[in-house]
Amino acid sequence: MARYLDVHPVDPQPRVIAQAVAMLHDDALIAYPTDSCYALGFELDSRTGADRIRRLRNLDERHHFTLVCSDFAQLGEFVVLNNAAFRSIKAVTPGPYTFILAATREVPKRLAHARKRTVGVRIPDHPVVKALLRELGKPLVSSTLLVPGEDEPMTNGWEIKDRFDHELDAVIDSGECGTEPTTVVDFSAGYPEVVRVGAGDPSMFE
């Protein structure tokens, strides 16, 4: 059964955040709220998290996982940034955007795109995620909680727990969060290409 963790949306309780991070260190797969919508997440060193998400969401090896980073300095450790990408991404972070870029050697091969060697990165603007990342001390590997065959992500913590009680290890609930996934911008070809319009304004990348 998935553990249900009720967290204050503005001032997350350190004790509860520490419990969630301890589970992540123990190879847990969690569902958690973000500034766009609910996401699935696991620790960077997890050996099982990627396959569990692929099974749950019915994804193939071409799926881009996202490294959710605490700040721009951390993001820069995991992706290659040219000057144009640096300026563009810096201007809209933190916020509901995911950027696809060439991965550095710090990204485990199992998490990068099998052929392109790219990975998604983002810096969210949500108190609960910020608290998780501070306690974790490294990026959280994530994927939007989109159920196969459904067009919109799930938004209610209790419903997520009921539906995925045996697929997840924990559900963090801090009340209402966004209902749209992030806007995804692909910089891997050297210029921005909007590949998904979501919660973030795409106009500066078009």
Report helix, strand or coil for 52. helix
How far, in Å, CA of 205 to CA of 186, rounded? 10
155 neighbors 117 (Cβ within 8 angstroms): no
Residue 69: domain span: 3-205
Total structural domains within the chain: 1
By DSSP bridging, strand 140-144 and strand 97-102 are unpaired
Joined tokens for residue 131: 């608290």
Q: Considering the chain, what is the average pLDDT of its residues? A: 94
With a cut of 90, say whether residue 70 has pLDDT above it.
Answer: yes
pTM of the predicted protein model:
0.95
**Between helices 127-136 and 14-25, what is the axis angle to 10°?**
50
Q: Could you tell me the CATH number of the domain that includes residue 200? A: 3.90.870.10
Q: What is the pLDDT of residues 40-59, one digit of tens each?
A: 999 999 999 999 999 999 99
3-state helix, strand, coil in the chain (%, to 5): 30, 20, 50
